[in-house]
Every structure is written in structure tokens, then in C-alpha cells.
Structure 1
Amino acid sequence: METFDFIEMKVPAKAEYVGVVRLSTSGIANRMGFTYEEIEDLKVAISEAMSNATTHAYSNGEQGEVTIGFGMYEDRLEVMVADRGGSFDLNNVKSETGPYKSDQSIEELREGGFGLFLIEALMDKVEIKNDYGVIVLMTKYLRENEVDVNGDQISTTP
């Protein structure tokens, strides 16, 4: 069984806490060695999942919270954003989630359609569980910097 560190946060389901989660994401991803661009992608994807949860999960002034879980593996970061429920049992969540399919009705995923397409574009893998509330499980793989001599350079001049 592979080892990993797990960090869990709970924040009120209010838009003003998205920034707190973005800062935490940035710190965790930076510590793991992700590039600046990858960290920005992670922050946007997680912001979208958070915004979906804070906008659509609770109504009629209901005070809710969003739970964010970070699974820090050697080769990847797995991030869960859930708008209902308690703490994560990571293995249980993973066994019950399935891949997001773009043919699923947008209503099923709480009108968060565009945000989910954006998340899917920015992350390597996206899975959704929506039995009671919505759990979005996003994975970003940590890649070694693979720039060879003439690989990803804009020009050939040093």
C-alpha cells in the first residue's frame, strides 16, 4: 500500500473562504514541487469546485460547510471537495466515485457544468460522487521537469 500524507480542512460554505483554500492549495502544491503553472491550474480547479459547492449546495440561508481533503502522494496530489458530510475516509470515497462523463445532465451536477468542464481541462483526472451532496475528486500528477536541450525552448538562442 502506498504511503501518503492527508490534510483535511473544513470551511464555511461562503465565497470569502475560497481564497483561504487557494492559499492552502498553493502551499501544499509548492511543497510537493509542482511548477508555478501547475499550481495556478490547481488553484483555478479547486476554486471552481469550491464555488460550485458554495453557490449550489445550500439554500434558504442554510449554514453549511465545505470539506477539502488533500491526499499528498509521491507522484500526485488528489484533492477532494465535498459540500456535505463529515470527514473523508479516502479509500471509501475513492471506491465510490466514478469518472465524470460530459454527457451527464448539468442539472445533476448542480448547474456547475461549465466549472466542471474547466476542472476537467485543468486536472489529469476528475471523478464525481453525487449521492448526497457532491464530492469532486481531482488528481494532478507530479511530473519531473522534462526539458531537453531543444525541447520546450521558445528560441534556439541561449
Structure 2
Amino acid sequence: MKEQPKDMIELTIPAKADFVGVVRLAVSGIASRMGFSYDDIEDLKVAVAEACTNAVHHAYKDQRGEILIFCGIFPDRLEIEVVDRGPSFDIAEVQARSGPLNGHMPVHALPERGLGLYLMKSLMDKVEIKGDGGIAVTLIKYIRRDEVEEDVDAPTETRSH
């Protein structure tokens, strides 16, 4: 039996680049409320923007459409699903193109396609993609409550002698 989220937030936006920022703001607010760190919130915002931007550019081309965003709030993680109803693509082929980057290549020589998926995988703990009458990208990020803060051993005040 699949674990049910404590809360589920649903958002539907037009498949237009103008509305991607709305999703970033919503995810930022949800993640902040859950207790994610600043860096993890920034990672979530970038990953969800990539998923939405992919849907805007590839799912509907120049046609009208909408993107559905589901944010499942769990005690230990945030699961974000970005769904479009555009034509599906060969998921395995795109994933094969999204492998590690060659750090020795000049920026202008890097492949243009597949970087968004690579970026999402780099920033999230888990990324799942399903395609059946559209594409569903699930982004999962766990809350890291037990990590030691940076500079935790740094002196809090300086004494002069």
C-alpha cells in the first residue's frame, strides 16, 4: 500500500513560460513551511522550474495546454509531480542523453537537450518520469534535519585580552 501524504496541494497553470515563476513561489513557500534549508529550497525551485519549462516547451509546442502540479507533503520529504497531457516522448532515449557532463568541453559545445533532466537529477534525491498520454515528472527531496549546520564550531563571540 502506497503511503499517503499528510497534505496534498494541487496547482494548475497554463502551459506558458510566464507562469513557471508562480510554481517556483508556491514550492518555495511549501518547502519553507516544511522546514527545508535555504539551499534545499533553492534546489527545489530550480528543479521544479526545469520540469515546468520542459512541459511548456516540449509538451504543447505552440498549442494551448495546461500543466498540473501536485505537491505531496510527507513527514520526511516533499514529492512534487509535474504533469502535462502533451504527446509523450522516448523517455529512455532522453535519459541516455542526460548523463554526466564532460567537464572538458567548452560551454558552447555542450548538448542542448537533456540538460534539464540531468540538472533535476543532480538537485533532487529522486526523479521519476512516466509517459502515457503525457509526461509525469516526480521530484522527491528529503528533509535533512540531522545535518550539522555550517560553522557550528565557530566561536560565537571574540574576546579581547
| TM category, shorter | 0.7 to 0.9
Looking at structure 2, the residues matched to 152 and 107 of structure 1 have their Cα atoms a distance apart, in angstroms, of 34
Which amino acid in 2 is paired with 1:9?
A: L
Q: What's the C-alpha RMSD, in Å, of the aligned pairs?
A: 2.5
Structure 1 unpaired stretches of 5+: 86-100
Q: Deviations over 1:54-111 (max 9, x none)?
A: 000013x3100000000001110000001128xxxxxxxxxxxxxxx8xx212999x8
**Preserved contact between residue 84 and residue 136 of structure 2 (Cα < 8 Å):** yes
Question: TM-score of the superposition, structure 2-length normalised?
Answer: 0.76
Name the structure 2 match of 1:120.
121
8 Å Cα contact 2:95/2:117 also seen in 1: no
CA contact (8 A) 2:7 2:74 kept: yes
Give the distance between the partners of 1:32 and 1:153, measured in 2 at CA.
Answer: 23
Other-structure match for 1:53: 55
- 1:106 is aligned, of 60, 84, 94, to 94
Q: Does 1:19 align with 2:21?
A: yes
SS at match of 2:93: coil
1:7 aligns with 2:5: no
- How far the C-alpha of 1:146 sits from its partner, in A, is 2.2
Q: Secondary structure at the match of 2:29?
A: helix
| Contact 2:5/2:72, CA 8 A, preserved across alignment | no
TM-score by structure 1 length? 0.77
Deviation at 1:33, TM superposition (A): 0.4
Identical-residue share of aligned pairs (%): 51
Letter in 2 for 1:5: D
- Number of residue pairs the alignment of both structures matches: 136
Rate the CA distance shift 1:146–1:106 in 2: closer, same or farther, 3 A: closer
Does the aligned pair in 1 maintain the 2:50–2:116 contact within 8 Å?
A: yes
1:1-158 map, 5 Å: 3-59=5-61, 61-84=62-85, 104-106=92-94, 113-147=114-148, 152-153=150-151, 156-158=154-156
TM-aligned CA distance change 1:24 to 1:78, over 3 Å: same
